[in-house]
C-alpha cells in the first residue's frame, strides 16, 4: 500500500490505523487530516463553486488600510478608515 492510500484509509472516521502507518510524521499527517476531515470533504462537495479570493481581497485591503493608518491617534479613526476603504463610503 503506498503512503497516499494509507493516509486516505487513515482519515476515515471509523478506522484507527495508526499502527498501519510506519513512522511518526505519517501518523501526525493522518491525525491532522482526520481532525479536519469534514472541512476537507466540504471543499470537494462544493466542487470549487466558491472561492476564497473575495475574502483574501478584503483581508488585503484591511491590512493595507491598517498599514497606512499608523499615525492615527485613536482606534475609532482607524475603524472609520476601515469602513471607508472596505465599505466604499465617501
Q: Which of 55, 3, 75 is nearest to 17 (CA)?
A: 3
Provide the grid cell at 31: 491525525
**pTM for this one?**
0.44
Give the start-to-end residue ranges of the domains of the chain: 3-46, 53-87
* 42-61 pLDDT, tens digit each: 776 776 676 778 778 888 99
- Cell numbers linked to 58: 478584503
What pLDDT is stored for residue 85 in this prediction?
86
Amino acid at each position: 500500500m503506498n503512503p497516499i492510500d494509507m493516509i486516505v484509509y487513515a482519515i476515515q472516521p471509523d478506522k484507527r490505523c495508526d499502527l498501519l502507518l510506519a513512522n511518526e510524521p505519517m501518523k501526525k499527517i493522518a491525525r491532522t487530516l482526520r481532525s479536519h476531515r469534514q472541512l476537507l470533504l466540504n471543499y470537494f462537495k462544493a466542487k470549487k463553486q466558491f472561492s476564497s479570493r473575495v475574502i483574501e481581497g478584503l483581508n488585503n485591503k484591511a491590512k493595507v488600510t491598517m498599514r497606512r493608518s499608523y499615525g492615527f491617534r485613536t482606534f475609532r479613526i482607524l475603524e472609520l478608515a476601515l469602513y471607508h476603504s472596505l465599505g466604499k463610503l465617501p
